[in-house]
Amino acid sequence: FLETAGKEETHFDFFPFTTFNMTTLMNFYPNRVFLFGDILCFKFLISSESLERASFVGFFKKSWRNFIDEFTVDNLVLDIEVIALSVLFGLGERAVGDQIEQLIAPTVERRTIREAGGQRVVEIVPTPKYLATRAVSSLAARALFYPLQTGLIRFLTREVSFGGFAKLFISMDSLKDLYTGFSVNMLWSCGYALACSLFQYGQFESTTDGGEVTGAVSMVGGSLLYVGLVPLRIKALFDRAGLPYQFTWVPTFYRFASAMGIHSLGN
């Protein structure tokens, strides 16, 4: 937030190429800058190769081969279409979530970071109330956009074409099918929102006097929770893709690593 002469402006970095930090990853609204990597990870996740026994050399060989194989005309056209739709849906989800947040809590606490050249730079103080409000609003927006994001995954698996994407929403049966995996995904989303809250609260506390230990514990707790929820993330992605998957808390290394690498696809 940048405040100048009593006027406050909000700067929203949807693609913060130059402002990357851990909050970019642990964000209520996942950043779309990683979408191409998300696509690669998702395709590997649902492939039979993800079931193979892991090896250090094999991991890099498979990663490189999957990266090279993606550079075909058909794959790149599909990837561009998926990225474009994902960005569009992400913007809509963020806008709806922000509106819900404004309705719940129109005012937030801020603190001044610095003042220079007639400009006052302030930031939002992530109080428990603020974080709870943001979590609830982001979850509500995610639930509303769930069919669109699921349709995007079906598009990526080539179940539907770009031209036939809209047909997924014209009948009750197809629309109902887009809610496949909703309960598992929302369970993961609730855990993810809690992990983001812990991390962002910890990051703020670590900048206050005497809050370094509390901040570190909170950030570590949020990070561990995020990692611990990965098996649910895998189950949710398979369900949304319409693929069979037997849930386990101990997936293969390749599946675990692939799911860890997916930041915004399907969100």
pLDDT digits 0-9 by tens, 13-52: 444 333 445 555 688 998 888 899 999 999 999 999 999 9
pLDDT (tens digit per residue) in 105-139 = 877 787 666 565 667 677 788 889 999 999 999 99
pLDDT of 6 over the 70 cut:
no
Lowest mean pLDDT among 25-34, 86-95, 220-229, 252-261: 25-34
Q: What would the mean pLDDT of 75-96 be, rounded to a whole number?
A: 94
Instruction: Report how many domains make up the chain.
Output: 1
In a domain, 265, yes or no: no
pLDDT of 12 over the 50 cut:
no
pLDDT reported for residue 10: 39
At 9, phi and psi to the nearest 5?
A: -120, 140
Task: Write the DSSP assignment of 152-180 as a string of letters.
Answer: HHHHHTTSS-STTGGGGGSSHHHHHHTTT
Confidence grade of residue 76 (pLDDT, cut at 50, 70, 90): very high
Report the relative pairing of strands 7-9 and 2-4 from DSSP bridges.
antiparallel
pLDDT reported for residue 2: 37
In a domain, 267, yes or no: no
In a domain, 266, yes or no: no
In a domain, 64, yes or no: yes
Looking up residue 115, the CATH number of its domain turns out to be: 1.50.40
Which tokens belong to 241? 């893709």
Cα angle 146, 150, 153 (rounded to 5 degrees) comes to 150
Provide the 3-class DSSP secondary structure of residue 66: helix
Q: What would the mean pLDDT of 208-226 be, rounded to a whole number?
A: 91
The larger pLDDT score, comparing residue 19 to residue 95, is at: 95
In a domain, 140, yes or no: yes
Domain carrying residue 136? 2-260
pLDDT of 227 over the 50 cut:
yes
At 122, phi and psi to the nearest 5?
A: -125, 160
